[in-house]
């Protein structure tokens, strides 16, 4: 009788099997990494949007409270040409360098301008004061965000008078646009006195109580 000897295979993996396993592990690790990174990015983006939205709401609420009782509103987009004349009639509200500013009225029409960004940059009145831009977290609401504010008159379809004001606030983070919001301010005193907003849409709002 012829005996056949059967050799048992030693336990272990072949090189091919190890390579396949390594490829599968690499693919799974890559998938887990991409999913985790995407989730983290979405979470961070969500936090950024919430913070930007809070800043927008605070800025809009401040502007609304500041302007709602105004009896006169004058808008311009050219501070150099119109600022000296308009500052005689009221205080100034505007944004510059990502911050909200105000400047008091000056009956003498004095409104000296600085150019922090150099010649040709947007002017900044020397007397302007920034709002919500303190050195500590309690008084500085901006953080890593910037805002731009603009104003435009709203015509009342019933009376034909421009006695409501649309205020728009855009929020940016590191130069990237985040979101924009607007609010229509009903100018109570102006409406009662049958007054109207002077000027077209602009970045500078002069107002008088």
- Residue ranges of the domains in the chain? 44-208
* Cα distance between residue 20 and residue 27, in whole Å: 11
Share of the chain above pLDDT 70, in %: 85
Q: What is the pTM of this model?
A: 0.75
Question: Which pLDDT score is estimated for 132?
Answer: 77
Answer for the pair 100, 131: CB distance below 8 angstroms, yes or no.
yes
Instruction: Write the pLDDT tens digit of every residue in 82-108.
Output: 999 999 999 999 999 999 999 999 999
Q: How far apart are CA 83 and CA 125, in angstroms?
A: 9
Q: Which of 89, 58, 94, 122 is nearest to 197 (CA)?
A: 89
Distance CA 98, CA 59 (A): 12
Residues 14-36: what's their mean pLDDT? 78
Backbone dihedral angles phi then psi of residue 12, each to the nearest 5 degrees: 145, 180
Q: Collect all residues with Cβ–Cβ distance below 8 Å to 49 and sequence separation of at least 6.
A: 178, 179
List all residues 6 or more positions away from 23 whose beta carbon is below 8 Å from its beta carbon.
none
Q: How confident is the model at residue 147 (pLDDT cuts 50, 70, 90)?
A: very high
């Amino acid at each position: 009788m012829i005996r056949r000897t059967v050799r048992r295979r030693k336990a272990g993996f072949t090189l091919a099997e190890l390579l396949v396993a390594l490829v599968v592990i690499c693919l799974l690790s890559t998938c887990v990494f991409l999913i985790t990174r995407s989730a983290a990015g979405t979470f961070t983006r969500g936090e950024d949007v919430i913070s930007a939205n809070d800043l927008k709401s605070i800025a809009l609420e401040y502007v609304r409270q500041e302007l709602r009782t105004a009896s006169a509103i004058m808008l311009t987009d050219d501070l150099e040409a119109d600022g000296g004349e308009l500052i005689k009639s009221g205080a100034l509200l505007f944004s510059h360098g990502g911050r909200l500013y105000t400047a008091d009225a000056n009956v003498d029409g004095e409104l000296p301008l600085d150019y922090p960004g150099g010649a040709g940059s947007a002017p900044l009145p020397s007397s302007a004061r920034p709002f919500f831009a303190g050195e500590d977290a309690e008084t500085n609401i901006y953080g890593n965000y910037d805002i731009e504010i603009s104003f435009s008159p709203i015509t009342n379809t019933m009376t034909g008078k421009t006695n409501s004001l649309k205020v728009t606030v855009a929020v940016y983070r590191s130069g990237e646009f985040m979101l924009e919001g607007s609010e229509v301010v009903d100018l109570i005193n102006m409406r009662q006195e049958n007054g109207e907003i002077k000027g077209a849409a602009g970045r500078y709002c002069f107002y008088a109580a």
